[in-house]
A = this chain, B = another copy of it.
Protein backbone atom coordinates (compact mmCIF):
# COMPACT_ATOMS: atom_id res chain seq x y z
CA UNK A 1 0.00 0.00 0.00
CA UNK A 2 1.15 3.48 -0.76
CA UNK A 3 0.56 6.15 1.90
CA UNK A 4 -2.17 8.62 0.93
CA UNK A 5 -0.27 11.55 2.50
CA UNK A 6 1.96 12.15 -0.54
CA UNK A 7 -1.11 11.88 -2.74
CA UNK A 8 -2.79 14.51 -0.61
CA UNK A 9 0.18 16.85 -0.93
CA UNK A 10 0.33 16.28 -4.68
CA UNK A 11 -3.37 17.03 -4.86
CA UNK A 12 -3.20 20.34 -2.99
CA UNK A 13 -0.22 21.44 -5.09
CA UNK A 14 -2.27 20.81 -8.21
CA UNK A 15 -5.24 22.65 -6.75
CA UNK A 16 -3.45 25.66 -5.27
CA UNK A 17 -4.55 27.86 -8.06
CA UNK A 18 -3.59 30.40 -10.60
CA UNK A 19 -0.17 31.79 -10.89
CA UNK A 20 -0.89 35.35 -9.87
CA UNK A 21 1.56 37.55 -8.02
CA UNK A 22 5.19 37.95 -8.99
CA UNK A 23 8.54 37.13 -7.42
CA UNK A 24 10.31 39.85 -5.46
CA UNK A 25 12.42 41.86 -7.84
CA UNK A 26 14.55 44.19 -5.74
CA UNK A 27 17.66 42.15 -6.41
CA UNK A 28 18.47 40.18 -9.57
CA UNK A 29 18.80 36.86 -7.76
CA UNK A 30 15.22 36.98 -6.48
CA UNK A 31 13.85 38.39 -9.71
CA UNK A 32 15.48 35.49 -11.57
CA UNK A 33 13.65 32.89 -9.47
CA UNK A 34 11.57 30.49 -11.56
CA UNK A 35 8.07 31.72 -10.70
CA UNK A 36 6.57 28.29 -11.30
CA UNK A 37 8.59 26.56 -8.61
CA UNK A 38 6.22 25.02 -6.12
CA UNK A 39 6.73 22.75 -3.15
CA UNK A 40 5.12 21.61 0.07
CA UNK A 41 6.66 19.54 2.86
CA UNK A 42 5.21 18.24 6.10
CA UNK A 43 7.40 16.84 8.83
CA UNK A 44 6.07 14.94 11.81
CA UNK A 45 7.55 15.72 15.18
CA UNK A 46 9.18 12.32 15.08
CA UNK A 47 10.99 13.32 11.96
CA UNK A 48 9.17 11.70 9.08
CA UNK A 49 9.03 14.10 6.17
CA UNK A 50 6.54 14.11 3.33
CA UNK A 51 7.40 16.18 0.29
CA UNK A 52 5.76 17.14 -2.93
CA UNK A 53 6.95 19.35 -5.76
CA UNK A 54 10.34 21.09 -5.95
CA UNK A 55 11.18 20.24 -2.38
CA UNK A 56 14.94 20.18 -3.01
CA UNK A 57 15.17 23.51 -4.78
CA UNK A 58 17.34 25.86 -2.72
CA UNK A 59 16.62 29.53 -2.00
CA UNK A 60 17.64 32.13 0.52
CA UNK A 61 15.75 31.86 3.79
CA UNK A 62 15.19 35.63 4.08
CA UNK A 63 12.73 36.65 6.82
CA UNK A 64 12.08 33.08 7.90
CA UNK A 65 15.42 33.43 9.69
CA UNK A 66 13.81 35.95 12.04
CA UNK A 67 12.09 33.56 14.47
CA UNK A 68 15.28 31.51 14.81
CA UNK A 69 17.47 34.51 15.56
CA UNK A 70 14.86 35.79 18.00
CA UNK A 71 14.95 32.35 19.62
CA UNK A 72 18.73 32.55 19.86
CA UNK A 73 18.58 35.97 21.53
CA UNK A 74 16.03 34.61 24.01
CA UNK A 75 18.18 31.54 24.64
CA UNK A 76 21.29 33.59 25.30
CA UNK A 77 19.83 36.51 27.25
CA UNK A 78 16.43 35.50 28.62
CA UNK A 79 13.02 36.92 27.92
CA UNK A 80 13.23 39.96 30.21
CA UNK A 81 16.43 41.26 28.70
CA UNK A 82 15.20 40.77 25.16
CA UNK A 83 11.85 42.44 25.97
CA UNK A 84 13.74 45.57 27.00
CA UNK A 85 14.95 45.86 23.42
CA UNK A 86 12.20 44.34 21.27
CA UNK A 87 8.43 44.33 21.92
CA UNK A 88 5.85 41.69 21.08
CA UNK A 89 2.98 43.77 19.73
CA UNK A 90 1.66 43.50 16.17
CA UNK A 91 2.64 46.56 14.20
CA UNK A 92 -0.15 46.92 11.68
CA UNK A 93 2.51 48.25 9.34
CA UNK A 94 4.74 47.05 6.56
CA UNK A 95 7.68 44.87 7.55
CA UNK A 96 10.22 47.50 6.64
CA UNK A 97 8.62 50.50 8.31
CA UNK A 98 10.91 52.69 10.37
CA UNK A 99 8.53 52.70 13.29
CA UNK A 100 9.46 52.25 16.93
CA UNK A 101 7.32 52.41 20.05
CA UNK A 102 6.86 56.09 20.70
CA UNK A 103 8.04 56.08 24.28
CA UNK A 104 10.41 53.17 24.68
CA UNK A 105 11.86 53.40 21.16
CA UNK A 106 11.75 49.60 21.02
CA UNK A 107 10.93 47.97 17.70
CA UNK A 108 7.38 46.71 17.98
CA UNK A 109 8.21 43.06 17.45
CA UNK A 110 11.03 40.83 16.17
CA UNK A 111 9.27 39.90 12.93
CA UNK A 112 9.57 43.37 11.38
CA UNK A 113 13.00 44.34 10.14
CA UNK A 114 13.67 46.81 12.95
CA UNK A 115 13.07 44.10 15.52
CA UNK A 116 14.92 41.46 13.55
CA UNK A 117 17.99 43.70 13.26
CA UNK A 118 17.84 44.29 16.99
CA UNK A 119 17.51 40.57 17.72
CA UNK A 120 20.47 39.95 15.44
CA UNK A 121 22.52 42.51 17.33
CA UNK A 122 21.60 40.92 20.66
CA UNK A 123 23.18 37.60 19.69
CA UNK A 124 26.52 36.78 21.24
CA UNK A 125 28.88 38.33 23.72
CA UNK A 126 29.48 42.09 23.91
CA UNK A 127 32.87 41.80 22.24
CA UNK A 128 31.66 39.60 19.38
CA UNK A 129 32.29 40.79 15.88
CA UNK A 130 29.97 40.27 12.94
CA UNK A 131 31.57 36.90 12.09
CA UNK A 132 31.19 35.59 15.62
CA UNK A 133 27.54 36.63 15.69
CA UNK A 134 26.85 35.01 12.37
CA UNK A 135 28.64 31.81 13.44
CA UNK A 136 26.23 31.43 16.37
CA UNK A 137 23.24 32.08 14.16
CA UNK A 138 24.44 29.68 11.51
CA UNK A 139 25.00 27.01 14.17
CA UNK A 140 21.43 27.31 15.47
CA UNK A 141 19.81 27.33 12.07
CA UNK A 142 21.83 24.32 10.96
CA UNK A 143 20.98 22.48 14.17
CA UNK A 144 17.28 23.13 13.54
CA UNK A 145 17.56 21.94 9.95
CA UNK A 146 19.59 18.91 10.96
CA UNK A 147 22.34 19.61 8.45
CA UNK A 148 25.01 22.22 7.73
CA UNK A 149 23.38 25.01 5.78
CA UNK A 150 25.23 27.04 3.15
CA UNK A 151 25.16 30.77 2.47
CA UNK A 152 24.17 32.03 -0.96
CA UNK A 153 27.01 34.49 -1.37
CA UNK A 154 25.53 35.96 -4.53
CA UNK A 155 22.30 36.85 -2.79
CA UNK A 156 24.23 38.20 0.18
CA UNK A 157 26.40 40.48 -1.94
CA UNK A 158 23.50 41.65 -4.04
CA UNK A 159 21.30 42.46 -1.05
CA UNK A 160 24.11 44.50 0.50
CA UNK A 161 24.36 46.65 -2.62
CA UNK A 162 20.85 47.98 -2.10
CA UNK A 163 20.41 47.54 1.65
CA UNK A 164 19.59 51.24 2.08
CA UNK A 165 16.34 50.58 3.86
CA UNK A 166 17.88 48.30 6.45
CA UNK A 167 20.79 50.71 6.85
CA UNK A 168 18.25 53.45 7.53
CA UNK A 169 16.60 51.29 10.16
CA UNK A 170 19.88 50.23 11.75
CA UNK A 171 21.11 53.82 11.92
CA UNK A 172 17.82 54.85 13.50
CA UNK A 173 18.17 52.07 16.08
CA UNK A 174 21.75 53.13 16.73
CA UNK A 175 20.70 56.76 17.17
CA UNK A 176 18.37 55.66 19.98
CA UNK A 177 20.94 53.25 21.45
CA UNK A 178 18.63 50.31 20.85
CA UNK A 179 21.66 48.67 19.28
CA UNK A 180 25.23 49.43 20.23
CA UNK A 181 27.16 48.09 17.26
CA UNK A 182 28.04 49.88 14.07
CA UNK A 183 24.90 49.87 11.91
CA UNK A 184 26.81 48.66 8.86
CA UNK A 185 28.08 45.61 10.76
CA UNK A 186 24.61 44.73 11.96
CA UNK A 187 23.08 45.09 8.52
CA UNK A 188 25.90 43.08 7.04
CA UNK A 189 25.40 40.24 9.51
CA UNK A 190 21.64 40.37 9.16
CA UNK A 191 21.89 40.26 5.39
CA UNK A 192 24.11 37.19 5.68
CA UNK A 193 21.60 35.56 8.00
CA UNK A 194 18.89 36.15 5.39
CA UNK A 195 21.07 34.68 2.66
CA UNK A 196 21.36 31.28 4.32
CA UNK A 197 20.30 28.80 1.67
CA UNK A 198 17.55 26.30 2.46
CA UNK A 199 15.30 23.85 0.71
CA UNK A 200 11.66 23.35 1.51
CA UNK A 201 12.68 20.11 3.21
CA UNK A 202 15.00 22.09 5.47
CA UNK A 203 12.24 24.52 6.37
CA UNK A 204 9.91 21.69 7.27
CA UNK A 205 12.53 20.17 9.57
CA UNK A 206 13.13 23.56 11.17
CA UNK A 207 9.38 23.91 11.62
CA UNK A 208 9.15 20.45 13.17
CA UNK A 209 11.89 21.42 15.60
CA UNK A 210 9.69 24.25 16.81
CA UNK A 211 6.67 21.97 16.73
CA UNK A 212 8.30 19.47 19.04
CA UNK A 213 9.20 22.05 21.66
CA UNK A 214 12.74 22.58 20.43
CA UNK A 215 13.92 19.03 19.86
CA UNK A 216 15.21 18.36 16.38
CA UNK A 217 13.18 15.34 15.28
CA UNK A 218 15.93 13.53 13.40
CA UNK A 219 19.04 14.27 15.43
CA UNK A 220 17.12 14.23 18.69
CA UNK A 221 19.11 17.24 19.88
CA UNK A 222 17.24 19.64 22.16
CA UNK A 223 18.20 22.74 20.20
CA UNK A 224 15.97 25.20 22.06
CA UNK A 225 14.19 24.96 25.41
CA UNK A 226 10.38 24.67 25.29
CA UNK A 227 9.79 28.05 26.95
CA UNK A 228 11.81 29.81 24.25
CA UNK A 229 9.89 27.98 21.55
CA UNK A 230 6.59 28.95 23.17
CA UNK A 231 7.60 32.61 23.07
CA UNK A 232 8.75 32.39 19.47
CA UNK A 233 5.54 30.70 18.37
CA UNK A 234 3.45 33.29 20.24
CA UNK A 235 5.14 36.11 18.37
CA UNK A 236 4.88 34.24 15.07
CA UNK A 237 1.16 33.81 15.71
CA UNK A 238 0.46 37.54 16.13
CA UNK A 239 3.22 39.09 14.00
CA UNK A 240 4.55 36.45 11.62
CA UNK A 241 2.60 37.19 8.48
CA UNK A 242 3.49 40.89 8.19
CA UNK A 243 0.47 43.15 8.44
CA UNK A 244 -2.00 40.38 7.64
CA UNK A 245 -1.66 38.85 11.11
CA UNK A 246 -5.32 39.08 12.02
CA UNK A 247 -6.45 37.70 8.71
CA UNK A 248 -4.01 34.79 9.03
CA UNK A 249 -5.22 34.08 12.56
CA UNK A 250 -8.81 34.00 11.33
CA UNK A 251 -8.36 31.88 8.25
CA UNK A 252 -5.32 29.68 8.89
CA UNK A 253 -4.86 29.77 12.62
CA UNK A 254 -1.42 28.30 13.19
CA UNK A 255 1.82 30.24 13.79
CA UNK A 256 3.82 30.86 10.64
CA UNK A 257 6.51 33.01 9.10
CA UNK A 258 6.97 33.93 5.47
CA UNK A 259 9.98 35.10 3.51
CA UNK A 260 10.34 37.26 0.44
CA UNK A 261 11.94 34.48 -1.57
CA UNK A 262 8.62 32.63 -1.42
CA UNK A 263 8.86 30.31 1.55
CA UNK A 264 6.39 29.91 4.40
CA UNK A 265 7.16 27.98 7.55
CA UNK A 266 4.24 26.87 9.74
CA UNK A 267 4.02 25.00 13.02
CA UNK A 268 1.30 22.95 14.65
CA UNK A 269 2.62 22.60 18.19
CA UNK A 270 3.06 18.98 19.16
CA UNK A 271 2.13 17.67 15.76
CA UNK A 272 3.86 18.81 12.61
CA UNK A 273 6.09 21.30 10.90
CA UNK A 274 4.96 22.61 7.54
CA UNK A 275 6.82 24.36 4.75
CA UNK A 276 5.66 25.69 1.40
CA UNK A 277 7.51 27.38 -1.43
CA UNK A 278 6.34 29.44 -4.38
CA UNK A 279 8.12 32.64 -5.39
CA UNK A 280 5.07 34.61 -6.50
CA UNK A 281 4.14 37.11 -3.77
CA UNK A 282 0.96 38.94 -2.87
CA UNK A 283 0.69 42.59 -1.88
CA UNK A 284 1.68 41.81 1.70
CA UNK A 285 4.87 40.10 0.50
CA UNK A 286 3.59 36.62 1.33
CA UNK A 287 3.74 33.79 -1.17
CA UNK A 288 0.39 33.75 -2.96
CA UNK A 289 0.20 30.02 -3.44
CA UNK A 290 1.88 29.36 -0.10
CA UNK A 291 -0.95 31.17 1.64
CA UNK A 292 -3.47 29.11 -0.29
CA UNK A 293 -1.67 25.87 0.56
CA UNK A 294 -1.60 26.71 4.26
CA UNK A 295 -5.25 27.73 4.23
CA UNK A 296 -6.18 24.46 2.57
CA UNK A 297 -4.09 22.34 4.92
CA UNK A 298 -5.50 24.13 7.95
CA UNK A 299 -9.05 23.44 6.83
CA UNK A 300 -8.41 19.85 5.72
CA UNK A 301 -6.35 18.87 8.70
CA UNK A 302 -8.15 20.77 11.45
CA UNK A 303 -5.06 22.77 12.32
CA UNK A 304 -6.68 26.01 13.50
CA UNK A 305 -5.64 26.45 17.10
CA UNK A 306 -8.97 28.01 18.03
CA UNK A 307 -10.93 25.09 16.72
CA UNK A 308 -12.40 23.27 19.66
CA UNK A 309 -11.27 19.64 19.54
CA UNK A 310 -13.97 17.18 18.77
CA UNK A 311 -15.51 15.73 21.89
CA UNK A 312 -13.25 13.09 23.35
CA UNK A 313 -14.56 9.78 24.56
CA UNK A 314 -15.12 10.07 28.28
CA UNK A 315 -11.89 10.23 30.21
CA UNK A 316 -13.42 7.99 32.84
CA UNK A 317 -13.74 4.65 31.07
CA UNK A 318 -15.15 2.76 33.98
CA UNK A 319 -16.11 3.54 37.58
CA UNK A 320 -16.89 0.49 39.72
CA UNK A 321 -17.18 -0.19 43.41
CA UNK A 322 -16.28 -3.72 44.47
CA UNK A 323 -16.56 -5.43 47.76
CA UNK A 324 -13.24 -6.83 48.92
CA UNK A 325 -12.56 -10.18 50.59
CA UNK A 326 -12.88 -8.50 53.96
CA UNK A 327 -16.20 -6.97 53.06
CA UNK A 328 -14.85 -3.47 52.72
CA UNK A 329 -15.64 -1.36 49.68
CA UNK A 330 -13.02 -0.65 47.03
CA UNK A 331 -13.68 1.90 44.27
CA UNK A 332 -11.92 1.32 40.96
CA UNK A 333 -11.75 4.27 38.54
CA UNK A 334 -10.29 3.49 35.12
CA UNK A 335 -9.13 6.34 32.90
CA UNK A 336 -8.30 6.39 29.20
CA UNK A 337 -6.89 8.69 26.53
CA UNK A 338 -5.13 12.00 27.10
CA UNK A 339 -5.61 13.42 30.55
CA UNK A 340 -5.39 17.20 30.86
CA UNK A 341 -6.98 19.62 33.31
CA UNK A 342 -10.52 18.88 32.32
CA UNK A 343 -10.06 15.10 32.47
CA UNK A 344 -8.38 15.20 35.86
CA UNK A 345 -11.05 17.60 37.12
CA UNK A 346 -13.72 15.08 36.12
CA UNK A 347 -12.04 12.33 38.15
CA UNK A 348 -11.65 14.57 41.18
CA UNK A 349 -15.26 15.61 40.96
CA UNK A 350 -16.78 12.15 40.89
CA UNK A 351 -14.57 11.02 43.72
CA UNK A 352 -15.37 14.09 45.80
CA UNK A 353 -19.06 13.61 45.13
CA UNK A 354 -19.01 9.89 46.06
CA UNK A 355 -19.20 8.13 49.39
CA UNK A 356 -16.06 7.31 51.35
CA UNK A 357 -14.53 3.92 50.68
CA UNK A 358 -11.90 1.86 52.40
CA UNK A 359 -9.81 1.32 49.28
CA UNK A 360 -9.34 3.16 46.02
CA UNK A 361 -7.73 1.92 42.81
CA UNK A 362 -6.74 4.43 40.11
CA UNK A 363 -6.40 2.51 36.87
CA UNK A 364 -4.19 4.40 34.36
CA UNK A 365 -3.45 1.42 32.10
CA UNK A 366 -5.25 2.88 29.09
CA UNK A 367 -4.04 6.41 29.53
CA UNK A 368 -2.18 7.68 26.46
CA UNK A 369 -0.75 10.92 27.87
CA UNK A 370 -1.01 13.40 30.72
CA UNK A 371 0.18 16.91 31.22
CA UNK A 372 1.68 18.56 34.27
CA UNK A 373 -1.51 19.96 35.74
CA UNK A 374 -3.31 16.64 35.34
CA UNK A 375 -0.48 14.79 37.07
CA UNK A 376 -0.46 17.29 39.91
CA UNK A 377 -4.22 17.01 40.30
CA UNK A 378 -4.21 13.20 40.33
CA UNK A 379 -1.33 13.15 42.81
CA UNK A 380 -3.36 15.52 44.97
CA UNK A 381 -6.33 13.14 44.66
CA UNK A 382 -4.16 10.33 45.98
CA UNK A 383 -2.84 12.51 48.80
CA UNK A 384 -6.28 13.66 49.91
CA UNK A 385 -7.73 10.15 49.83
CA UNK A 386 -4.88 8.91 51.98
CA UNK A 387 -5.39 11.80 54.40
CA UNK A 388 -9.00 10.62 54.65
CA UNK A 389 -7.74 7.17 55.60
CA UNK A 390 -8.41 5.53 52.29
CA UNK A 391 -5.91 2.94 51.09
CA UNK A 392 -4.88 3.81 47.54
CA UNK A 393 -3.43 1.63 44.81
CA UNK A 394 -2.25 2.68 41.34
CA UNK A 395 -2.45 0.65 38.16
CA UNK A 396 0.16 2.74 36.35
CA UNK A 397 2.45 0.66 34.14
CA UNK A 398 3.37 3.82 32.19
CA UNK A 399 4.52 5.50 35.41
CA UNK A 400 2.48 8.60 34.69
CA UNK A 401 2.18 9.44 38.36
CA UNK A 402 5.20 10.11 40.54
CA UNK A 403 5.13 8.20 43.81
CA UNK A 404 5.56 11.03 46.30
CA UNK A 405 7.93 10.35 49.12
CA UNK A 406 5.68 12.33 51.40
CA UNK A 407 6.18 11.50 55.06
CA UNK A 408 2.60 12.31 55.93
CA UNK A 409 1.02 9.72 53.73
CA UNK A 410 1.58 6.09 53.08
CA UNK A 411 3.09 5.33 49.73
CA UNK A 412 0.36 4.15 47.40
CA UNK A 413 0.96 0.70 46.09
CA UNK A 414 1.60 0.02 42.47
CA UNK A 415 -0.47 -2.89 41.28
CA UNK A 416 -0.11 -4.87 38.10
CA UNK A 417 -3.53 -6.36 38.14
CA UNK A 418 -7.01 -5.93 39.44
CA UNK A 419 -7.73 -9.61 38.93
CA UNK A 420 -7.96 -10.48 42.53
CA UNK A 421 -10.79 -8.03 42.97
CA UNK A 422 -12.68 -9.51 40.14
CA UNK A 423 -14.22 -12.41 42.05
CA UNK A 424 -15.76 -10.12 44.62
CA UNK A 425 -19.19 -8.60 44.45
CA UNK A 426 -19.74 -5.41 42.63
CA UNK A 427 -21.67 -2.79 44.46
Q: A308-B270, A337-B338, A346-B46 are in contact. Are A249 and B88 (CB under 8 A)?
A: yes
Tell me, rounded to whole Å, the shortest Cβ–Cβ distance linking A169 to chain B. 7
Q: How many copies does the complex hold?
A: 4
Whether a CB of chain B sits under 8 angstroms from the CB of A306 is: yes
Q: Which of A134-142, A145-153, A170-178 contacts B (4 or more CB under 8 A)?
A: A170-178
Question: A417 contacts the other chain (Cβ, under 8 Å)?
Answer: no
Is A259 on the interface with B (CB-CB < 8 A)?
A: no
Q: Is A231 an interface residue (CB 8 A)?
A: yes
- Establish whether residues A183 and B169, one from each chain, have CB atoms under 8 Å apart when the complex forms: no
**B369 touching A309 by the CB < 8 A rule?**
yes
Give, as a whole number of angstroms, the nearest-CB distance from A144 to chain B.
Answer: 15
Is A401 among interface residues, defined by CB-CB distance under 8 A? no
Chain B proximity of A410: nearest CB distance (Å): 15
- Say if the beta carbon of A109 comes within 8 Å of chain B: yes
When chains A and B are docked, how far (Å) is the Cα of A1 from the Cα of B348?
9
A341 touches B175 (CB 8 A): no
Chain B hits for A348, CB < 8 A: 3-5
Q: CB distance B92 to A89 under 8 Å? A: yes
Task: Determine if A235 is an interface residue (Cβ-Cβ < 8 Å).
Answer: yes
B337 touches A306 (CB 8 A): no
- Given A310-B372, A369-B309, verify A171-B175 contact (CB < 8 Å): no
Which residues of B lie under 8 Å from residue A369 when comparing CB positions? 309-313, 337-338
Q: Closest residue to A300 on the B side, CB-wise?
A: B373
In the docked arrangement, what's the CA distance between A349 and B272, Å? 15
Known: A340-B271, A341-B301. A307 touches B175 (CB 8 A): no
A121 to chain B, nearest CB (A): 13
Q: Give the chain B neighbours of A108 by CB distance below 8 A.
A: 92
The digit string for A212-231, where 1 denotes a CB below 8 A from any CB of B, is 11000000000000100111
Beta-carbon nearest neighbor of A315 in chain B: B368
Interface residues of A in 288-342 (CB under 8 A from B): 300-313, 315, 336-338, 340-342
**What are 17 contact pairs spanning A and B, CB under 8 A?**
A1-B390, A3-B352, A4-B384, A89-B247, A162-B175, A226-B308, A229-B306, A230-B307, A237-B249, A238-B246, A270-B342, A272-B342, A302-B373, A309-B338, A311-B369, A313-B367, A338-B368
**Which residues of A line the B interface, CB within 8 A?**
1-5, 44-46, 48, 87-92, 98, 108-109, 162, 164-165, 167-172, 174-175, 183, 211-213, 226, 229-231, 233-235, 237-239, 243-247, 249-250, 253, 255, 268-272, 300-313, 315, 336-338, 340-342, 345-346, 348-349, 351-352, 356, 366-373, 377, 380-381, 384-385, 388, 390, 398
